[in-house]
Each structure stands twice: as structure tokens, then as C-alpha cells.
Amino acid sequence: MEREDLPVLWAMATLPNIGATADSSVPLPLPGASEAPEPFADLADPWRHFEAVGGCFLVATVDGHVAAMGGFRPRCDRPGRIEILRVRVHPALRRRGLGQALMSALEAHARAKGFREAWLDTATNQPEAMAFYASLGYRETGRETRTEWHWTLVYYLKELPRP
């Protein structure tokens, strides 16, 4: 990941992730955002919020353009467990194996750092994401709803066996 990639990562973080998510009409060279979106402030400095705390942040490119991103950081409350965050695949490139490759790489980096479990969440308004994580061996461990939400968070966990 390069610093000049940040505006595109910020733009990708706010793209819709609900409904039929594959959309070939979205231009591959995404116009960058001017700043990290407030809900994803950790993307303003992924090195500090992921790498420096013992995690990892990966960016995949296709033809020199940002195509996918995602990271993990250790869970302070659960030694040996990581939390996977900010997983996104460019809408024009979804359903081509990039997400699976990204998740495999994140899990491999976590195993290499000695982590044994991966935890993540998604929401019920993203059924494609729910099916995707289940297909990768993540098992649902709980749900959370709040009156101000129009969705339900779904929590997943996967053991990261040693190779």
C-alpha cells in the first residue's frame, strides 16, 4: 500500500455494499475522496491503526488501480484473536475471486504472526457478505440489534489452524 492509494481506499470504504453488489458500471479508477470517512477514521492512517499495533493491512491492485482492501488487528480482549476490518472489493471486480484471495492472505498473515482465531462482523442487509464469510468457513457466533439501526450485526469466528 502506498500513501497515494489512501484517497481511493477512502472512496472504496463508502461504496454501497448492499444488494446485488457486483456492478461493472463503476469505473475502475475510482476518484479519490478528500479525507477518510468519519465511520472509518482508522483508514486515515492504516499503518498506525493496523500495522503498528501488530496487525496487517493489504491492498490488491488490478492494472495499477486499487481493486480490494482489508486488514486485521489484534483483539486486546482476546489474546490469540484478530479482528478483520475494512474488507472491500471494487464493485466492478466482485465475484472474481479477489475477496477470497484477500481473505486467504489476511488469514495467512495472521497465522504467521501466531494468531489462532479470526473474528469479524457484517450485517443482515449484506446477505452476499454473510454468504461469502460462511463459504470461507466462518461460523456465526451472535447477533446484535439496536433500535436506531435498520439492520442487525452478525458476528463470525473462524479458527486459524497451523499449516
Collapsing DSSP to helix, strand or coil, 91 comes out as helix
Angle subtended at Cα 4 by Cα 22 and Cα 68, rounded to the nearest 5 degrees: 25
Cα dihedral sign, 117-154-54-107: positive
pLDDT tens column, 67-93: 999 999 999 889 999 999 999 998 888
Joined grid coordinates for residue 2: 502506498
pLDDT > 60? residue 19:
no
pLDDT in tens, 104-132: 999 999 999 999 999 999 999 888 899 99
Q: Are 143 and 155 in contact (CB under 8 A)?
A: yes
- CATH number, span 3-117: 3.40.630.30
Band (22; pLDDT cuts 50, 70, 90)? low
pLDDT over threshold 60, residue 18: no
Q: Which pLDDT score is estimated for 28?
A: 81
Higher-confidence residue of 24 and 44: namely: 44
What is the per-residue pLDDT across 149-161, written as a single tens digit (0 to 9) for each? 888 999 999 999 8
- For residue 64, pLDDT beyond 60: yes
Q: Domain locations in the chain? A: 3-117
Can you tell me the distance from the alpha carbon of 84 to that of 73, in angstroms, rounded to the nearest whole number? 7
What is the chain's mean pLDDT, rounded?
91
58 pLDDT exceeds 90?
yes
Top-ranked range on mean pLDDT: pick from 28-32, 95-99, 116-120, 143-147? 116-120
